Amino acid sequence: MIVIIGSKEETHSLYMYAKIRSMGHRVCLLDSRKYPKNISIDWSPTENKAKFKIGDDSFSGDDIEGIYWRWYYGIPYEKVSNSDDAVNSIIYRERTCLMSSVLCSLESKSYNSIQAVELHQKKAYQSFLLAQNNIRIPKTMITNSPEEFIDFCKKFNKNVIYKPVRGGAYTKKVSGEDFTLEKLQRLEKVPIQLQEFIQGVDIRVFAFESGEIFPAKIAAKSVDFREDTSAKIEPVILPDKVCEDCIKILKLFGLKYSGIDIRLTPEGEYVFIEANPAPMFIHFENVTGFPISDTLISKLKA
């Protein structure tokens, strides 16, 4: 059994589900929002024995060959009939604790593990790890101070981009309106991540811990290539040192595979941006012919 953490509404979950089934493998979707109404879990930590029932599928933990982590929705908070808020909070806590504990126990079978996914939610700490391990990243400042914001922008002659500390929105370039009193006062309420703008070409690398590297150049017209749906994508060859750094990043972040974003400057310098534990790949695969999903499925079945 291969378990996909995702849902019927999520494109990559469905793509992988259909492909795995077409190859004759047993597969199911684990949509965490359906626990406990449509999902049952029994687990003995002392014996490391687990039983799952997801819809019409019943299987044991030993039956699981691999887990593809695409999208985890968490456990929904809901009010239980005739219960007060304190009881509802306890119920939510207990459900969440079981699900996350079981997923942690299945780390060895997961691409990627819940621990690696949770580390990705600490993007600032990931930047710290990269910098501490001599991997070139953009100069970065995270702040909610208008004074620090202004100083950082002056340092790079306003050639600066900003994005959320945790992620979840497109990267934008700092403009004149970001220095208005209204914007600066808003900054005091929430931190922002600032980085020097790296002029150059985007490269997305799909990397596996076993050494498979699939890099593609993205010729985008926007600051954040995800906003340019017409961006041209083509395979590239990376220097050995850059490939080695990609594998180094996987080890640093506890990843088995990742979509790693890099900027190649006009001077030929490779600057690492981030590593995603559950990257989108369908479009890249279709355009480049890279066997990303086949490689991933082979790992899940190993």
pLDDT tens figures, 186-210: 889 989 999 999 999 999 999 999 9
Structural domain includes residue 268: yes
Confidence of residue 40 (pLDDT cuts 50, 70, 90): very high
Same domain for 291 and 190 = no
- Residues 88-118 pLDDT 10s: 999 999 999 999 999 999 999 999 999 999 9
Mean pLDDT of the residues in the chain:
93
Domain assignment present for 154: yes
If asked whether residues 213 and 149 sit together in one domain, one would say: no
- Could you tell me which of 195, 73, 220, 178 has the C-alpha nearest to residue 123? 195
Same domain, 18 and 41: yes
Q: How many domains does the chain have?
A: 3
DSSP string, 88-111: HHHHHHHHHHHHHHHHHHTGGGEE
Whether residue 131 is contained in a domain is answered as: no
92 and 180 both lie in a single domain: no
**Residue 70 structural domain:** 2-111
What's 236's domain CATH number?
A: 3.30.470.20
Closest to 166 (Cα-Cα) out of 120, 105, 232, 206: 120
Alpha-carbon separation of residue 258 from 103, 169, 274, 299 (angstroms): 19, 19, 10, 13
- Taking only the tens place, the pLDDT of each residue in 56-88 is 999 999 999 999 999 999 999 988 867 788 889
Same domain, yes or no, for 66 and 8?
yes
Share of the chain above pLDDT 70, in %: 99
Helices 123-132/240-253 angle, 10° precision? 130
